[in-house]
Structures are given as C-alpha cells and as structure tokens.
Chains A and B, each alone.
Chain A
Amino acid sequence: MAQPGYYPGFSTLGQQKFWDAKTRQVVLDRVGNVPEVRFFSPQEACLLNAVCDRVLPQDDRDESHKIPIVPQIDRRLFENSHDGYQYEDMPPDREAYQLGLRAIEKIARHRYGCGFLEIGPQEQDEILRLLHDGKPSAANDIWKRVPVHRFWMLLVSDCTDAYYSHPWAWDEIGFGGPAYPRAYMRLERGEAETWEVTEKRYDWKAPENSVSGEFEPVSGQLEHLGSPGQGGTH
C-alpha cells in the first residue's frame, strides 16, 4: 500500500542524521521498542485493540506500517503516568478504562446480542458514535461513575497521542519532525524546506460505510459540560 497522505515519499526518519542524539534515541525507541501489554488483561487488550482500530482506523496502512496504539495506552496506565490532573467527577484513568471497556461490551450485547469483537466495523462505529454523542444506550450504571463525554475524550486523545507522536504519522501529514540542530529556513507561505516534500493533493475519501468520516461536536454540549482544551499552546 502506498504511504497515506499527500506527501508521497516523505520520510522524517530519513532525516535522523540531522537530529540531536537524545531526540534520535527517543524517537527511534518509540518506533523500535513497542512495549509489552502489562496493565490490561489479554481480553481487555483485545477489546481495546478493536475499539482503537475504529477510533483511529488504519485500514489504509499495510500491516508492517500500522502504528501501535494499545501498547502506548497500556504503558501509560501501567506506569500510572498521567497529565497531572483528574476531574472531580472521574475515577482514576486506570479504573476509567476498565469500566469504559466493560460498558462498550455491554452496549454491544444490548444492541446486537453479541460482543464488540463479533460485530462488523460499521456496527462497531455505530456504538462508538453513541459515546461520541454522549448517548450510550446501555450500561447506565457505569456511565454514572464515568461521565461518558469525559471517557470519550480520554480515549480519543490517548489514541491521537499514540498515533501522531509516531514518525510515520508525521510523514503522512507532512510535519517536519525534530529540527534541532538544523533549522527551518522557509518560514512563510507554507513553503517546503529542500528536504521536505511538497503537497500533492488528491481526492481523499473515508471508506463508503464508515460512520466517523463526518464532523459533529462531541455531545453537542461540550461547553456546558466544561471540558476545556487539553493541549498546551500559550
């Protein structure tokens, strides 16, 4: 399969000789040493894998270039590392994941009469869509302990963190990657450095029957629920 995205042949890893030693070590380690699953049980890991496959689908990547998501989430929970805060109405992240996974399984059984792993990708998307909309159709006992919109944001941001911290994702989106000690010189008009690749656009479409290709605000009431932006910018 061709590399996804509009920057054919762009490889940030191909620039690694221009990176500083420490950055090179950290990024190569991310690519080469995928951690073992240590926190989740094998069943949980399997289920989470299926969930992450829909939250951040990679069907357009060949097997050898799929970016590992679950191992990164597992490592974070195993090491109990977090973003430095916990919402008053949320349990700790570890518990939130275990409860959330159980609830997803319950919704699948309630809606389709079988487990999340046994239904097709479109049905799986439908279930995740319920979480995104903040209207889960089952497992209300669990969602009382884990507010659904907060669980959704936790899950999505863990997936995007794992994916977009990977150099293969940088190649896909045309991000230049590490840039020290070498500088950027072309700052304006979106111009590419000599070693970057110019954009070649084509008509990219989400697969036919996917549910997640369109955009709708989370829960439709985010501001009211007061979930602020998570990233540090200024």
Chain B
Amino acid sequence: MKSPLLGEFHPPGGKPHMLGSIQRIETPMHRFSEGEEVDYAIVGVGVGAGGGVLLQRLARAGFRVIGFDAGPFWDTERDWVSDEKGAHNLYWNDLRITGGKHPLAFGANNCGKGVGGGTVHWASFTPRLHPSDFRTHSTDGVGVDWPISYSDLKPYYELMELELPVSGPSYFPWGDPHGYPYGPHPMGGVGDALIRGCTKLGIGVSAGGPVAILNGSRGDRPHCIYRGFCIQGCKVGAKASTLITHVPDAIENGAEIRPNCMVSRIHIGRDRRVTGISYFDPEGRERFQKAKAVVVAGYSIETPRLLLNSACPGFENGLANSSDCVGRYLMAQAGNVVLGRFEELVRMYKAPPAHALTEEFYETDPKRGFARGFAIQTVGPLPMAFARQMMTAKGAWGWGMRSVMMDYNHWASFGFLGEILPHAENRVQLAEEKDRLGIPIAKATFTLHDNDQKLIEYGKNKTMEVMWAAGATEVVQEVRYAHLVGAARMGSDPETSVVDQFGRTHDIANLFICDGSIMPTQGSANPGLTIMALAARTADYLIREGNEVFTSHKPNSDKPAMRRDLSPPDTRGHGMPRI
C-alpha cells in the first residue's frame, strides 16, 4: 500500500472545535445563566442560512442573543465524513408526512439539522434572483408581487457575495448583469458536458460559478480540493456555510449557541407580545427562555410547524396566522435530474457538483405557452444517489442495476431548476402523529398546477436536448423537487401575508421570521443567497429600531440604511465586483 508523503492523516491539533481543516473556535462561548432575562434578547430559533447571518449581525451590534438549533454544533473533523452514507445525519430525518398529488421527498432532499442548517449540505450555487422575480403578478399575471424590489436587495446581494464569498465569472449576463468578486472554478466532466451541449445549441453558459466555494485560500479557510463531497458537508472548509462563515464571528461577539435544543413553543403574554420560548434541552427536559423578541428561522416546514404548534387563547389558529397564510403557499422548485451516458469516461464524482449553469430560459417567453422559466445546472450524484436515480429514471433493478452501475463513470447529470408558482393549497399543516418529544409533526401537501406542469415538460425536454447535444448516446430523467421555500410569506397586506418586508409578523410586533419561508415567489435561482440577503436586511432593520422592537406596537416601515460595518472580519475590502 502506498503511503502519504507526510504520514497517515490525523486530525490537526487535537482538541479545539474545528470548522474545516484549519479554522477553529478560539474564544470560549459566552453562556447566559439559567433563568437570566436576556436583555436585548433576540432569540434566533434555528441557526441555518437565514438564522446564521442574522445571529452574527445582532451579536456584532451588541445585542444579547442566543441561537437555538435542534441539531448539533458540528466539529467538522470529529463529526463529518468523506462518505455518502455516513453523511445521513446532516439532514433533518425526523418524521414528516408527505401527501398531495405530487408528494415531496424530504430528508436528503431538503433540509439540514444542526448549526449551519441547510448550508452545511447545500451544493452552494449562489445565483441572485432576477428583477422580474419581484413582480411576477404585474408582469406575467401569475404568482404575487413582493413588497420590495430587486433594487432593495441588490446591495445585500453584493455584500453577501463578498462575505461568503462567491466565485464566478467576471460577467454574469442574466437578470441584472453583474460580476463576481472571486474568479471561476475549473471545470469537471459534467461542466464540460454542459458547456459542450449549450455551445452546440447557441445557449450561453456561466462556467465555474456562481458558487460559494473558495478557489484560493483565504484567512483560515483553504481552497477547494475538488473532491466532490459538497452535499456531504465540506470537511476542507472551502465551501461556505454559516457554520464557518458567520457563526464564529457571532460567538466572538458574545452570542450563545444552544445546540441540540428543539424549540417547541413560543409564548405570548397578556399584551399579545412574545415573552419567550419553550425548548427541550439535550437531556430532553423542557425549559423556558425569556426573550424580549423572538426570531424564527427554522426552514419552510419547521417554521410554520412551530407557529401552528404555538396556538394559544387569542391565537387559536396559531401565531401570526390571522391571515390563514401560515403554512400556505409552500413552494419547491422543479428539480428534475437529466442523466446522459457518454461513450467516453466522465467520472462525475470529481469537482464540486455545482460548477456551471445557464439562465438562458429564466424569463417568461410567450412563445412557450407558460409563464416564468427555469435554469439548467450541473449536479454530481455519488453512487448511492445515482443508483436511486437509475431506479426511478430507468426502472433498473437486479442485474440491470448492477450493469448500469458499472457504467457509473460514463454518466453526466444536469439539474433542471424550474419555478413552481405559489398555490394556497400547497401547505404545511399539523398531523395527528407526534414526535418523540410529544410535539405534533408536520404534514406537507403538494400538487402541481397547469402552468407548473407545462413548464416542467418544456424545461425537462430542453435539458434533455442539451444533454443530447453534448454528445450523450442515451438520455433519461427523473422527476424531482428541490429547495422548499414559502409557507409564511411576506407582503404589505396583513390579510394575505404573514410578515412585512422586514420579516416582522403583522400580528405580533416582537415576533419575526428570517428564513426561506418568507419568500412570496421563488424564481429559478437556488434560494440560499436570497435568504441570506434578506436576513442581512432584517438585521439592519432590527438594529436601527433598537429598543423600539421590544416595546413599540406601531411598526416603523421606513427602510434602514445599509450597514457595511457588520461583516465578519476579513470579508470587506477583498475581492471587488467587476461591473
């Protein structure tokens, strides 16, 4: 057996809490004492994409904050593996019921559990929404308009692209054209196929990004080593997750993280304001945390579940639900996977799954007979996922499964990402069943509508066409859905939405939501960057409002000025957008 030059690999350093192969948490974490009223308390519930960014900013601005997460506070050297099956525990595997005509699959398909949330296992494609996404109702007569426009979010997009940071081409031509602060990544076999297919058909491609993966080392984060395990958690620390980009700075600034604590209820006082939360500590004891304001950031299933489970006298239908919109307008993107077999070898397990995409079909084209559009992106399933795809896409089993799997290295795969519109009947409700803590579990109902089905049919065929054009000798596809958002949408009208443009619930002045569930429509961009940009904006609002949040009943609807001084250290002044 050959031996590594520098000897067999052992974790660096020994004891400290590792975030990636080099970064470690040096400062001891502040701990609020038992029963302490956390003054200026804003309790983030769930430290994921949205929660992580918000927590960091509030801590930096001097608020006393606690972030609760139902899952662990990962030490990436101790807890993560470079192995598909071994990564099972990164996902939210607690039971959910799924139904409707097109039931969604959860688990590895949707949501994280643990500090960093879904950003721990995301592929980290980080495109922005297009300006048209904010007004689909006015321009296309479908969906609903956002209470803000692209220009409100644009500076926050730019800021987040520096903080993660995002690598990509210096000119990204779609939506609002822009450039990326860090250069694009080299191609893997799948990206090559996408470029080949698109070029043949005269379709533009963005090669090497936008992805939140480092292409050169920076500070205490090394560059990508192209090992292809992004979805299993990046042990290297090259792929951004709020666990390694924002949480360390939050701790440095006095925030507390309470991992393995499942929040079960939000409490309401006599003045119809939030007073705190109940949670189950790691030993399973139910505890109370007093808080002057609560921010829920638990993802599109857990956020509505918590609001519905917190029903109490005066809020019989759940908190912040006078509009009956909590749980409704749940969306997922159509995420069909198109697989092509090539005569030559591809070895799609190398390079990050996310490294090239096209948004050429993003906007409405009346000629196609449906509203809105889609993107086509690289994906890179590892063997277990690929076998499941062969099961659904080809009906493989038995010797057929064995033989197609022996050809694993000959296949490339594209992910189609299509906009599904919001529908009131697609929703999260509470099921009869309870989880091991006695909390009613969530039930999701999902059914496609006419426009959705037409869009999927067209987009799937177009994606297959690109795969053929790339030179594939066989092309198959499987139906899939990705990226849940919605179910607590923002809007200006309290009758038809749950929160305002800053994430403040219309019904309860000191209860906020800060995650993907507030998105009124989803476009066909992966949602992560948008969730983080919205979180940074909510943070600016809360910081400007200061004490007012804890006392006032009349929400201020003036936009806050953007704070550029709240970024984690070393992220400002590096890498400039090129446009």
Contact = CB atoms under 8 A, between A and B. Distances in A.
Given A22-B78, A179-B82, A233-B413, A160 B384 contact: yes
A84 B112 CA distance: 11
Interface string A122-145: 000100100010000000000000
Interface string B373-386: 00001011111111
Contacts of A181: 9, 21, 225, 235-236
A234 B188 contact: no
Interface stretch (B391-399, B461-469, B504-512, B550-558): B391-399
Contacts of B387: 157, 160-161, 163-164
A206 B389 contact: no
B406 A172 contact: yes
Interface stretch (B40-48, B133-141, B142-150, B474-482): B474-482
Contact of A217 (B3, B394, B410): B394
B15 interface: no
Contact of B97 (A4, A88, A169, A186): A88
Interface string B195-237: 0000000000000000000000000000001111101000110
B83 A178 contact: yes
Per DSSP, chain B at the interface is: loop
B264 to A, nearest CB: 19
A5 interface: yes
Contacts of A161: 85, 384, 387-388
Per DSSP, chain A at the interface is: loop
B546 interface: no
A178 B85 CA distance: 11
Given A160-B387, A233-B335, A87 B99 contact: yes
Contacts of B231: 232-233
Contact of B391 (A153, A175, A182, A185): A153
Interface stretch (A12-20, A41-49, A99-107): A12-20
Interface string A209-232: 011111111100011001111111
A183 interface: yes
Contacts of A233: 123, 231, 335, 337, 353, 379-381, 385, 413, 415, 480, 482
B96 interface: yes
Q: Name the interface size band of chain B.
A: 35 or more
Nearest to B481: A228
Contacts of A54: 398
B303 to A, nearest CB: 16
Interface in B172-203: 186-189, 192
A71 interface: no
B403 A206 contact: yes
A65 to B, nearest CB: 14
Interface string B306-347: 000000000000000000000000000001110000001111
Contacts of B10: 21
Contact of A184 (B83, B228, B379): B228
A169 B382 CA distance: 12
A233 B107 CA distance: 12
Interface stretch (B65-73, B87-95, B292-300): B87-95
Contacts of A62: none
A216 B225 CA distance: 39
Interface in A164-208: 164-165, 169-170, 172-176, 178-192, 195, 199, 204, 206-207
B94 A84 contact: yes
Contacts of A5: 406
Interface of A: 4-6, 14-23, 26-27, 30, 54-57, 81-89, 125, 128, 132, 153, 156-157, 160-161, 163-165, 169-170, 172-176, 178-192, 195, 199, 204, 206-207, 210-218, 222-223, 226-234
Given A189-B344, A217-B395, 7 more contacts: A5-B406, A17-B1, A84-B96, A157-B391, A179-B228, A184-B350, A226-B479
**Which 7 A-B pairs give the minimum distances between C-beta atoms?**
A212-B398, A190-B345, A231-B385, A88-B99, A183-B225, A84-B107, A229-B480
